[in-house]
A = this chain, B = another copy of it.
Amino acid sequence: MKELLRTKGFKVTPQRELIFRSFFELGRHVTVDELYQKVREKDNSIGYSTVWRNLKLICRVGLAEEVNIGDGLTRYDRTTAAPHGHLFCRRCKKLLEFNVERIVGILAQAARENSFTLEGFKVEIQGLCEDCRRVPDRECDQGKAN
């Protein structure tokens, strides 16, 4: 870890160590604020921007990548050996993962057919998770007239 950082020319600070460690202790799909809160429990002098910058750094060194669902919050997802897709529950915002092996080939071909250099992809299912389906909707957040 320290090695990886120093190798790539980054300095190792106490804040950085704590942030990196905390990131991997949290589950997957971490938001800046979640990590910020977690880190603060250990050292409440760490600034939000430091957490943010280190999350970016974690991505830069290839240990995570940004996930952008449509809800205006960037999540940071540890990189996995195999690529995966996301199931996003619109109600509780839970994020599950699923295998996309059978899809990557199709995507590669689609890129090829469009003379497109594929650098990455995103496969996402929106809907309701098992728990949220049980509870009837009540809200209807569509209903705002504006």
> What is A's interface to B at a CB cutoff of 8 Å?
53, 56, 60, 66, 68-70, 85, 87, 89-90, 96, 98-99, 102-103, 106-107, 110-111, 113-130, 133, 142, 146
Bound Cα distance from A5 to B108, whole angstroms: 41
A77 CB to closest chain B CB (Å) equals 13
In Å, the complex CA distance between A133 and B118 comes to: 11
Q: Is the CB of A122 within 8 A of B119?
A: no
- State in angstroms the CA–CA spacing of A70 and B120 once bound together: 12
A118 adjacent to B110 (CB under 8 Å) = no
Q: Which of B66, B85, B106, B118 contacts A127 (CB 8 A)?
A: B118
**A–B pairs, 8, beta carbons within 8 Å:** A60-B142, A68-B70, A98-B114, A102-B106, A107-B123, A116-B130, A119-B127, A122-B122
